[in-house]
């Protein structure tokens, strides 16, 4: 069943999403080669609890941490470890928060130190694809329109692999609600979107094949060819004319701009429409 949100409920989800982004911005300010996933996880949890909220992922279906930290060939659901990040790593950090009975969810991929141009292009394309998907989150369109926009840009135009097994989702009083929001699909297919629908759109895009597998830890999803992957996510409310982005990556981008150990990942502005 799809649950549509009132204006008041959307504002509560926005509060949760903005707190997620505060935690991710803090991560962006401290992440660097030499720091560990466990360290950024502890710091993010402290930010969340300082605002009277609860980490949305910790304990969810048994997940042991506040953040999903997925490095290089890690796509999503990585468990933070004591292993230090290295120069040249790309690190997807996904975070959820439960505040005032509503969840927020967002993710960002950080590029540490000297990143190859090939991998930086993957990050730029994936980040841009997120906004191309968001552009389609309007009243009267269908979920397949979002998936088509992401797939067409990443897979057809740039020849990357768009992950099939993992998808975006509705969000509200539950972390995962209907409908599923794939990053692939056909125009005009899938559930019709109406104003008040709140969804998390999250392209997961691989440098090589679209294939993935589960790592031995039982959580981390990795690319089947061991090539890098990128992941960006916003929570948005479907609107009459355009989507309302409830999360905000501006603080994350500002933190990166002031962190010399992390590369900025700008959108490909000549080809994208950024929804603000």
Average pLDDT rounded to a whole number, residues 145-151: 98
- Residue ranges making up the domain that contains 244: 7-263
In a domain, residue 273? The reply is no
In a domain, residue 225? The reply is yes
Residue 260: burial class (beta carbons within 10 Å; 0-12, 13-18, 19+): exposed
Where b means 16+ CB within 10 Å and e means fewer, 239-248 reads beebbbbbbb
How is residue 178 written in tokens? 């209907």
Q: Is the pLDDT of residue 106 over 80?
A: yes
pLDDT score recorded for residue 269: 77
Chain segment 70-85, per-residue pLDDT in tens: 999 999 999 999 999 9
In a domain, residue 1? The reply is no
SS3 62: helix
Q: In this prediction, what percent of the chain has a pLDDT beyond 70?
A: 98
Q: How many domains does the chain have?
A: 1
pLDDT score recorded for residue 272: 64
Q: Are 235 and 105 in contact (CB under 8 A)?
A: yes
In a domain, residue 268? The reply is no
Residue 274 — pLDDT band, cuts 50, 70, 90?
low
Residue 86 — pLDDT band, cuts 50, 70, 90?
very high
In a domain, residue 272? The reply is no
Mean confidence (pLDDT) of the chain: 97
pLDDT score recorded for residue 275: 61
In a domain, residue 93? The reply is yes
Chain segment 195-228, per-residue pLDDT in tens: 999 999 999 999 999 999 999 999 999 999 999 9
In a domain, residue 221? The reply is yes
- In angstroms, rounded to a whole number, what is the distance separating the alpha carbons of residues 22 and 39? 16
Q: Is the pLDDT of residue 276 over 60?
A: no
In a domain, residue 235? The reply is yes
pLDDT score recorded for residue 4: 98
Q: Are 212 and 222 in contact (CB under 8 A)?
A: yes
Chain segment 115-135, per-residue pLDDT in tens: 999 999 999 999 999 999 999
Average pLDDT rounded to a whole number, residues 96-107: 98
- In angstroms, rounded to a whole number, what is the distance separating the alpha carbons of residues 34 and 145? 41
Q: Is the pLDDT of residue 41 over 90?
A: yes
- DSSP string of 179-242? EEE-S---TT-SPBP-TT-EEEE--EEESS-S-EEE-TTSS-EEETT---EEE-BEEEE-BSSS
Average pLDDT rounded to a whole number, residues 42-51: 98
CATH number, domain at 147? 3.90.230.10
Enter the pTM of the model.
0.97
Kindly give the residue spans of alpha helices, DSSP state H, lying in the chain: 7-30, 37-50, 117-134, 143-151, 250-257
């Amino acid at each position: 069943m799809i649950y549509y949100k009132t204006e008041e409920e959307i504002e509560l989800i926005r509060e949760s999403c903005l707190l997620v982004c505060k935690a991710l911005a803090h991560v962006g300010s401290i992440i660097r080669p030499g720091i560990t996933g466990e360290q950024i996880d502890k710091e993010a949890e402290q930010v969340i609890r300082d605002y009277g909220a609860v980490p949305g992922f910790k304990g969810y279906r048994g997940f042991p941490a506040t953040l999903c930290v997925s490095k290089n060939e890690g796509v999503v659901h990585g468990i933070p470890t004591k292993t230090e990040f290295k120069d040249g790593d790309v690190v997807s950090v996904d975070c959820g928060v439960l505040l005032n009975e509503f969840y927020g969810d967002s993710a960002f991929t950080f590029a540490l130190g000297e990143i190859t141009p090939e991998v930086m292009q993957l990050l730029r394309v994936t980040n841009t694809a997120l906004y191309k998907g968001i552009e389609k989150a309007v009243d009267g369109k269908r979920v397949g329109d979002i998936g088509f926009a992401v797939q067409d840009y990443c897979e057809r135009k740039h020849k990357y692999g768009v992950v099939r097994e993992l998808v975006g989702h509705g969000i509200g009083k539950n972390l995962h609600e209907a409908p599923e929001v794939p990053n692939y699909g056909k125009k005009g297919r899938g559930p019709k979107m109406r104003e008040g629908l709140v969804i998390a759109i999250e392209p997961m895009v691989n440098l090589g094949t679209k294939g993935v597998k589960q790592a031995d830890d039982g959580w981390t999803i990795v690319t089947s060819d061991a090539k890098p992957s990128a992941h960006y996510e916003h929570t948005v409310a479907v609107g009459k004319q355009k989507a309302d982005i409830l999360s905000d990556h501006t603080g994350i981008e500002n933190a990166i701009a002031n962190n010399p150990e992390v590369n900025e990942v700008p959108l490909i502005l000549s080809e994208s429409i950024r929804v603000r």
